[in-house]
Amino acid sequence: MKHYPTCLTDSQWEAIKSIFNVKRKRKHSIREIFNAVLYVVKTGCQWRMLPRCFPKWQLVYYYFTRWKNEGIIEEVNELLRNLLRKKSGKKTSPSLALIDSQSVKTTRLGGAQRGFDGGKRVKGRKRHIITDTMGLLLVVVVHAANMHDSKAAENVISQLRGRFERLVKIIADGGYRGELINNTKRKFGFILEVILRKDDSSRFSVIPKRWVVERTFAWLENTRRLSKDFEYHTSTSQTMVQLAMIHIMLNRIRK
């Protein structure tokens, strides 16, 4: 098979292969199929336009859908995040998280949950993410762009429940003010701290702590499949964000 920059190295494959069923004999290895999925995510090509050196696109799409529905891709994301946190001398469960959203355009194909974000002047969807202080993905929820951050955030924050025993506080921007602060404490036991920009500053300035989640969006923008929301289902959009983060984390253990 032709080698592409997105193909897994031996050390990268060793880091994640325990999650997959690699014992059964197949015509094409799981590693080849996962390489094909990463190629689609990074390059943004259509499934049907996968280079012929990869397994047939129907097979690759079958496994992608299966891994999405069975939560395998989410497991890979968690495994790599825990690995990198340990490598950095941190515990696997963060004590501090950061939340933010990004509005992105959708295509003419249509699909569920689309709307118009009047503030950003974008017709499409929002990618709502929560990261740790390293910028690594904890939660992603995709929803219509016309949902205000403070209204949609409760569902996003609920995805943290029971997963991170050390998590105490979540940092957010001014869009999350209001009753959400009390609801987050009452329903989930987390402190939601809103950090605002200084009104007297006419120049751009980095907001303490909040810049981490904004940097994560910048990382994700390097993935062509995320240049727009091309997916029909929001669950697929969420999986594409997880795969983009997986590729980012794999590059940190490339050797």
SS3 (DSSP) at 196: coil
pLDDT at residue 203 above 80?
no
244: in domain: no
- pTM comes to 0.93
Instruction: Record the tokens describing residue 92, joined without a space.
Output: 């696997």
Say if residue 26's pLDDT is above 90.
no
**Residue 92, amino acid:** T
Task: Supply the range of the domain harboring residue 54.
Answer: 10-70
What's the number of domains the chain is made of? 2
Please check whether residues 102 and 208 belong to one and the same domain: yes
In a domain, 58, yes or no: yes
Q: Is residue 241 part of a domain?
A: no
Are 76 and 66 within 8 A, CB to CB? no
Q: Mind listing the pLDDT tens digit for each residue in 87-107?
A: 999 999 999 999 999 999 999
Interval 131-139 mean pLDDT: 97
Same domain membership, residue 140 and residue 26: no
Q: What is the 3-state secondary structure (H, E, C) of 114-125?
A: CEEECCCCEEEE
Between CA 232 and CA 113 the distance in angstroms is: 9
Neighbours of 195 (CB within 10 A): 14
